[in-house]
Amino acid sequence: MSDSNHTPPRTHAIIAGAGMGGLTLALALLKKGYDVDIYEQSPELREVGAGLWISANGAKVMAALGLKEKLERINLPPQDRLIRYWKTGEGKSVYNRDANPSRADHTLIQVLRSELQRVLYEAVVAIKPDAVHFGVRSVGAETVDGRARLLLDDGSHIEGDVVIGCDGAHSRVRQSMFGPAPARYTGALAWRGLTPMDKLKPQHREPLASTWVGPTAHVTTYPVQKNGEMFVSFSAQVDSDTWHTESWSEKGDLADALRDFEGWHPDIIDLFVGSENLFRWGLFVRDPLQAWSQGRVTLVGDACHSMTPYLGMGVNMTMEDAYVLARCLEQGPDDIPAALARYDRARIERANRTKEASLKMFGIFHHPDLAAAATAWPYIDTHWSAQAVRERYDWLLQYDATAVEI
């Protein structure tokens, strides 16, 4: 019988990790005709993290994947975004408030991390119901005889045309490619929590996104919803000489949080006291990578450019990575290594620039001039002027992963 009527097998992508990067990439590749399997070490999707911001650059990816409207239905968009003084709670609106407004879109989609993960997961399994394999632990990846292999902890491997490590800051795929990447403690720790609005004073129920700034700490707050119930999601970063673990899932003690934020406005204290759970972890950095790909293996998101949270760009950079990689693979399924080389050229410089810019924001958010009102307000007026905000964010927000040259 002639083989002329046989459909050639689809290019097969193997993904390590079912987080934001793995699911975004899987959905993009499935929509572009790839066969995709994701291997996730957890036994099921886990609710890790509180809220997150999808900014304009990430929203362009969600729109291209057909998910923006679904996310907007669970979004609680802020009517304004404020910088607040840590002692008094006084705030200043800082976005697009001058005669020369930003050319970038500064709107946000504010959702729970678990809700975004659920939306992505449902979209993936709607196309391929058995795409996600839970309870499978990967330990590395390699290219052998023109094929990519994901190596598993039981000594076996899974073979495909390309392997993508979306397995986070502690990526075993990255380690197998480039060796250990020592993490350096930044001198700051992070807190996060989720507080029901009905436990808070009326001012917390306003649809505002706020960043409270002080001399040694800052706190970001914004509303989110979960199953129709309203919450305030908050994340806080504070200077600390004490070394902490990098795990997002380590529980924090309320007494420690209250010591860290002693003297802060009661509205901030109320958030910590009312939170259903508190989590605390150390903020670490790793040296930027100059290559993400090797043979038929590459990396996405925190696996290749984990960054501090000071610009709020981590998940948005991951979305960009995933979509640009999917475009590169769509254009070059017959030469995977060449497609991955294009991906590296398209993404590494921007990701490393963002990583550096985020770390620099640490010194802006935490500054001695913020200690007293007399010096704090001139400092805020300078560093959160409309021009300063444009210079800080426009180059990030204007990027379009769906159209950028690759």
Residue 203's pLDDT band (cuts 50, 70, 90): confident
Predicted pLDDT at 1? 37
Residue 7's pLDDT band (cuts 50, 70, 90): low
Predicted pLDDT at 49? 67
Q: Does some domain include residue 233?
A: no
Residue 96's pLDDT band (cuts 50, 70, 90): low
Instruction: Say how far apart CA 216 and CA 275 lie, in whole Å.
Output: 22
Predicted pLDDT at 201? 86
The domain tally of the chain equals 1
CA 281 to chain centre: 16
Predicted pLDDT at 94? 80
pLDDT in tens, 336-382: 999 999 999 999 999 999 999 999 999 999 999 999 999 999 999 99
- What is the chain's mean pLDDT, rounded? 93
pLDDT in tens, 10-26: 899 999 999 999 999 99
Query: How confident is the model over 116-122, as a mean pLDDT?
Result: 97
Q: Which amino acid is at 348?
A: I
Predicted pLDDT at 3? 45
Q: Return the ∠ at Cα 192 (arms to 190 and 198), rounded to 5°.
A: 155
Residue 101's pLDDT band (cuts 50, 70, 90): low
Predicted pLDDT at 99? 46
Query: How confident is the model over 213-239, as a mean pLDDT?
Result: 93
pLDDT of 88 above 70 = yes
**Count of other CB atoms within 10 angstroms of residue 260:** 20
Residue 76's pLDDT band (cuts 50, 70, 90): confident
CATH number, domain with residue 90: 3.50.50.60
Q: Where are the alpha helices (DSSP H) in 275-385?
A: 302-305, 314-331, 336-365, 373-383
pLDDT of 262 above 90 = yes
Q: Does some domain include residue 197?
A: no
Q: Does some domain include residue 338?
A: yes
pLDDT of 97 above 60 = no
Q: Does some domain include residue 256?
A: no
Q: Does some domain include residue 272?
A: no
Q: Does some domain include residue 219?
A: no
**Structural domain boundaries enclosing 137:** 12-182+286-397
Q: Does some domain include residue 297?
A: yes
For the whole prediction, is pTM greater than 0.85? Answer: yes
Q: Does some domain include residue 22?
A: yes
Give the lowest-confidence range in 118-132, 231-245, 320-334: 231-245
With a pLDDT cut of 70, the percent of the chain lying above it is: 94
Q: Output the CA–CA distances (angstroms, integers) from residue 155 to 137, 219, 307, in the order listed.
A: 11, 45, 32
| Active-site residue set | 222
